[in-house]
């Protein structure tokens, strides 16, 4: 299968081809072209566009294209899901999502600066994501510091930093107002837009996106909204008059299959099983 996207890739446009070639279609061909040529070249090459606006394979809410590929092809490998958070943080410039995101962005930007040929850039980028996958699978708990003295000093230092951070971190007014807006609208407006809400609060959306997790249970905006939807779904499941399809619709999921996957990820059970156990109580 052929895939096509914008030239000069850095994060998503290398991470997604890596995912395609390693887990979806090893023989896939990836084409990088100027943005204004994508539509024409896609028809000529019979290629599927990705990571560009107004296509199926693109960003949704706070998720990047890599996230959508995982969902679209139902890739449940937990290692890929760990990588997705790092990639999302690097691609959306929200480095608070994962400590590795800033490093991935720095390496990717430097690689793109040094290599002007996009296919060579993809070839080198494949090595980066192979390495990231190996780290996420085998080495996440391994630390660079080895001696007990180094580890003790780092533990003391990090404890001090955590204490300083907790003392300084007070919930700002905008975060309290945002929480009230979300609670007021979640039952009637299932397509809440962080950009629109942020503009209503007269705060730049990028700032709100970057700071959001600090004041909302360490969750991104999309994760927090999904959490509220699942909580609402649990309330609706207690009423046997609602079918599972109705519950999915009333909680803003595109279809029951999507609802089932997200619900199970949050609760560990399919909605039907959860309801059966709930009604037994």
Confidence (pLDDT) at 162: 66
User: DSSP string of 142-157?
Assistant: --S--SHHHHHHHHHH
Predicted model pTM: 0.55
146 vs 99, 138, 150, CA distance in Å? 20, 17, 7
> Where is mean pLDDT largest: 25-39, 139-153, 185-199?
25-39
Where is the domain boundary, 95, 122, 139?
139
Q: What is the pLDDT of residues 155-181, one digit of tens each?
A: 777 776 666 555 555 778 888 888 888
Task: Please report whether residue 155 resides in a domain.
Answer: no
Task: Please report whether residue 14 resides in a domain.
Answer: yes
- Of the pLDDT bands very low, low, confident and very high (cuts 50, 70, 90), residue 188 is low
- Of the pLDDT bands very low, low, confident and very high (cuts 50, 70, 90), residue 149 is low
Where is the domain boundary, 81, 115, 139?
139
For residue 80, pLDDT over 60 is answered with: yes
Which pair of structure tokens corresponds to residue 199?
A: 């503009």
For residue 1, pLDDT over 80 is answered with: yes
Task: Please report whether residue 60 resides in a domain.
Answer: yes
Residues 126 and 28 in one domain: yes
Where is the domain boundary, 118, 139, 160?
139
Task: Please report whether residue 75 resides in a domain.
Answer: yes
| CATH number of the structural domain spanning residue 191 | 1.10.10.60
What rounded mean pLDDT belongs to the chain? 87
Task: In whole angstroms, give the CA distance from residue 220 to residue 214.
Answer: 9
Residues 256 and 198 in one domain: yes
Q: Give the rounded distance of the alpha carbon of 262 from its chain centre.
A: 13
The SS3 assignment for 239 reads coil
Domain that holds residue 184: 173-280
Is the separation of the CB atoms in 217 and 224 below 8 Å? yes
Task: Please report whether residue 23 resides in a domain.
Answer: yes
Which pair of structure tokens corresponds to residue 80?
A: 């890929």
What φ, ψ does residue 50 adopt, rounded to 5°? -145, 155
Burial of 42 (0-12, 13-18, 19+ CB in 10 A): buried
Residues 16 and 64 in one domain: yes
Confidence (pLDDT) at 196: 81
- Of the pLDDT bands very low, low, confident and very high (cuts 50, 70, 90), residue 142 is confident
Task: Please report whether residue 145 resides in a domain.
Answer: no
Lowest-pLDDT choice from 42-56, 65-79, 164-178, 206-220: 164-178
Task: Please report whether residue 179 resides in a domain.
Answer: yes
Residues 60 and 116 in one domain: yes
Q: Which residue has the higher pLDDT, 270 or 166?
A: 270
Show the DSSP H helices in the chain as ranges.
Answer: 12-19, 38-45, 65-72, 78-91, 101-114, 118-134, 148-168, 173-185, 194-200, 205-215, 221-237, 244-250, 256-267, 271-280
Average pLDDT of the residues in 256-278: 87
179 vs 9, 103, 224, 250, CA distance in Å? 36, 31, 10, 21
Q: What is the pLDDT of residues 198-251, one digit of tens each?
A: 888 888 888 888 888 888 888 888 888 888 888 888 988 888 888 888 888 888
CA dihedral over 107, 144, 67, 184, signed as positive or negative: negative
Residues 28 and 118 in one domain: yes
CA dihedral over 229, 221, 84, 7, signed as positive or negative: positive
CA dihedral over 101, 52, 251, 256, signed as positive or negative: negative
Task: Please report whether residue 52 resides in a domain.
Answer: yes
Confidence (pLDDT) at 163: 63
- Of the pLDDT bands very low, low, confident and very high (cuts 50, 70, 90), residue 187 is low
Which pair of structure tokens corresponds to residue 21?
A: 């070639």
- Of the pLDDT bands very low, low, confident and very high (cuts 50, 70, 90), residue 91 is very high
Confidence (pLDDT) at 281: 63
């Amino acid at each position: 299968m052929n895939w096509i996207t914008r030239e000069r890739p850095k994060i998503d446009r290398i991470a997604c081809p890596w995912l395609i070639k390693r887990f979806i279609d090893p023989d896939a061909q990836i084409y990088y072209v100027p943005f204004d040529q994508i539509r024409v070249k896609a028809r000529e090459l019979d290629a599927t566009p990705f990571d560009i606006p107004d296509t199926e394979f693109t960003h949704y809410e706070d998720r990047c294209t890599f996230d959508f590929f995982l969902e679209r092809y139902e890739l449940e490998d937990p290692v890929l899901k760990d990588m997705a958070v790092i990639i999302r943080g690097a691609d959306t410039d929200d480095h608070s999502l994962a400590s590795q995101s800033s490093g991935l962005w720095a390496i990717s930007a430097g690689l793109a600066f040094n290599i002007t040929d996009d296919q060579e850039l993809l070839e080198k980028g494949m090595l980066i994501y192979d390495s990231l996958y190996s780290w996420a699978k085998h080495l996440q708990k391994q630390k660079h510091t080895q001696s007990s003295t180094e580890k003790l000093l780092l533990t003391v230092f990090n404890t001090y930093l955590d204490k300083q951070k907790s003392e300084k971190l007070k919930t700002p007014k905008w975060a309290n107002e945002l929480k009230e807006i979300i609670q007021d609208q979640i039952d009637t407006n299932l397509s809440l837009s962080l950009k629109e809400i942020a503009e209503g609060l007269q705060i730049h959306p990028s700032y709100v996106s970057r700071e959001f997790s600090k004041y909302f249970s360490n969750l991104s905006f999309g994760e927090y909204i999904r959490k509220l939807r699942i909580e609402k779904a649990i309330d609706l499941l207690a009423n046997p008059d609602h079918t599972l399809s109705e519950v999915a619709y009333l909680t803003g999921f595109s279809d029951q299959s999507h609802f089932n996957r997200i619900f199970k990820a949050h609760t560990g059970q399919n909605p039907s099983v959860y309801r059966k156990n709930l009604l037994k109580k």
